[in-house]
Structure 1
Amino acid sequence: MIAIRTFALINTAALLGAPVTSSPSYDVDLAHRSTWPTPAGALSIMSYNIKGLPWPIAGGREEAISAMGQRLAAMRLSNAQPHVVLLQEAFGDGAHTLGEAGGYRYVVTGPQFSRADEPQPLGQAFAEGAQWVKGEASGSLINSGLAILSDYPVIRIERYAFPEGACAGYDCLAAKGVLVAWIDVPGTGGPIAVIDTHLNSRRATRVASERADRAYAWQVAAVRQFLARVLPSGTPVIFGGDFNTGQAPARIAALSQPLIEGTQSDGLRTVLTNGGVISGSRSEAQRIVGRNKDKILFRDGLRVSLRPERAWVPFPITSPAPLSDHAGFVLDFSFQRRDTRECLGACNSIGA
């Protein structure tokens, strides 16, 4: 089985055209340190798809991840580091490498393997259409790539891996799903549920868009059901990741209902509207919102209301040698404590 999976990985790399050229020279600081702001609220949180694909699928990623770690370390020295980092595509040891380099006390990772307990989750016809050469029939070869780095204590973790067959194309090679960490943030009166996810891509799957969109819709529904089960209704929530929505009508329709129960808001879109993006990051922030893939959503809790105050982009993609094909952006949240008499007893639930 190991030999078969190794061959599948190498075959995938060949089909994807893995680069063989030398790595670019990465700029650790990129933006001058004097422009890095200190956090504007009680919690600063970054979401970043680091493109941590392993060799032979991608080359030069160790150098890029090393540069990311150095930049995170430099940000900490300048007191500009995000308190919490949500990573996607942090495959292998990428999360621990960045956590150690960035000085984060807590590093939690997502699912390691796709679940094999739900045969044909999208039906027999979809299963019969699986293409081994496109990575759909070999099972997950690498972990989810999800990770949460935190300066604050992580007191509880929940993981959910999409089952084998609930994916399309090359995405099936990774054990994608959802990672939830309850984090004890000072001044909130209780833990906040911080969620990280990475949903099925579209063009990168190298299968028909209709097939990729169908897997995507199934995953969205599964995430919604999972979160409804593990999140008490009064829990304050911050939910980030690579949602891979884009402008595809089928994907926009799949997300027309909130992923988390209650009133769900888009943090970066809110800050852009309110003029809270720092100078030098506005065009990059607009590009992130327009691309409609990387997001940080939030929901108030019974004990505390969340207020996105400011945003900036310490890891842009408009530089000569970007560290990833996604931008890493930060949102600063402030909190407003609510009268506990409004809780009506529900505040005793964990995370409320």
Structure 2
Amino acid sequence: MSSPSYDIELDHSATWPGPAGPLSILSYNIKGLPWPIAFGRKEANSAIGQRLAAMRSSNAQPRIVLLQEAFGDIANKLGKDGGYRFVVNGPQFASSHEAQPLGRSFAKGAQWIKGEGAGSLIDSGLAILSDYPIIKVERYAFPEGACAGYDCLAAKGVIVAWIDVPGAGEPIAIVNAHLNSRGAAHVTSERADRAYSWQVAAVREFLSKALPNDTPVIFGGDFNTGDVSIRVASVAQPLLHGAQVDGLRTVLAKGNVVSGSQDEARRIVVRNKDKILFRGGRRVGLLPERAWVPFPLATQEPLSDHAGFVIDFSLE
């Protein structure tokens, strides 16, 4: 079987905007799964890196990139290809200090053949690339047993990077997370949803301790919420303390999605998995000004099974 070939240029349905603002954020689940779980990822990852480099050559590159499923050394390579000076990776291993975080009955139902009970075999796949200095980093991996199905093979969790954004006057906390899938976990929906609800509560608690209430925050990632009522209910309470806002929904409502990206942006919102949330701080506010989709799904050869989208923020 021959490897797929990918074009590094955007297709005709999306156009690159003018120069990116000082705070532009890309969130992208790149499907960086190793062979033989996924096929053709080496070629796709190379094309992603080339596209990031092409955006930089036009001064349209996102200043900060949030990657999910960038397992192994993929993030470092993409950072190098895309010209990012700073790269930090998420958790490397799931913690094992809490043997039965979801209770005894859930633990007894673990299926080794579905990836449960063996511990994390690969890292979290989370990474943050930045043009700006990263001042501080905190990581949190979901403990062993706080997951369902094949998701347990990765040390999923959260990474927070405090980044020195020009003009902000204080570091802005950038959060990246990946929560338990549903169908892709290949266990019962009830089991996957129980793990999901536990993880949401754990992320909320972790961020409440890591982020003072007056800290400006941008929180992106693969939330895997979808239209499942129990998952929607789990995230109904804000993950960020205070007035959490959905950036892409806000920009769509204002009509500020770049021409050619509107349909992709609507599909991202309807799918309800990939998000960029934000919260202003006491001394600096964040205002989403523009969005576009440099890594669309509606192409002949999409580079992932998720779209990668950018939001440009202004500082108030």
TM-score, length basis structure 2: 0.98
Q: Which letter does structure 1 place at the counterpart of 2:211?
A: L
Any conservation in 1 of the 2:21–2:313 contact (CA below 8 Å)? yes
2: CA distance, partners of 1:152 / 1:38:
20
The CA deviation string for residues 100-150 of structure 1, in whole angstroms up to 9 with x for no partner, is 000000000000000000110000000000000000011101000000000
1:181 maps onto 2:170 in alignment: no
Larger gyration radius, structure 1 or structure 2? 1
**Whole-angstrom distance in 2 between the partners of 1:35 and 1:204:** 32
| Aligned partner (choices 38, 46, 56) of residue 58 of structure 1 | 38
**Alpha-carbon separation, structure 2, partners of 1:23 and 1:141:** 26
Distance 2:20 2:141 in 1: 34
1:180 match: secondary structure? strand
Secondary structure in 1 matching 2:61: coil
Out of 253, 256, 261, the position equivalent to 1:281 is: 261
Q: Which runs of 5+ in 2 are unaligned?
A: none
Pick from 113, 116, 126 the counterpart of residue 96 of structure 2: 116
Q: Structure 1: which amino acid aligns with 2:268?
A: I
- How do 1:1-352 and structure 2 match up within 5 A? 21-31=1-11, 35-39=15-19, 41-336=21-316
- 1:270-316 residue CA offsets vs partner (Å, 9 max, x unmatched): 00000000100000000000000000000010011100000000000
Give the letter for the 2:27 counterpart: S
Secondary structure at the counterpart of residue 297 of structure 1: strand
User: 4+ residue stretches of structure 1 with deviation over 4 A?
Assistant: none
Does structure 1 conserve the Cα–Cα contact (< 8 Å) formed by 2:20 and 2:62? no
- Where 2:285 maps in the other structure, the secondary structure is strand
**Contact residue 223 and residue 259 of structure 1 kept, 8 A:** yes
3-state SS of paired residue (1:35)? coil
Greater fraction of residues in helix: 1
Structure 1: distance between partners of 2:2 and 2:119: 31
Secondary structure of 2:106's match? Answer: helix
Question: Percent identity among equivalent residues?
Answer: 72
- The aligned residue for residue 350 of structure 1 is none
Count of residues in Structure 1 that have an aligned counterpart in Structure 2 = 316
Distance 1:117 1:313 in 2: 40
**Equivalent residues of 2:264, 2:293 under 8 A apart:** yes
Asked if the contact 1:39/1:82 (under 8 Å) is kept, the reply is no
8 Å CA contact retained: 1:198, 1:243: yes
1:265–1:297 contact (8 Å) kept in structure 2: yes
RMSD: 1.2
Aligned equivalents of 1:62 and 1:131: distance in 2?
30
User: What stretches of structure 1 of length at least 5 have no aligned partner?
Assistant: 1-20, 337-352
Shift of 1:269: 0.3
Aligned equivalent of 1:15: none
Per-residue deviation, 1:22:
2.6
Cα distance in structure 2, aligned partners of 1:157 and 1:91: 18
User: Equivalents in 2 of 1:260, 1:30: separation in Å?
Assistant: 34
Deviation at 1:36, TM superposition (A): 1.4
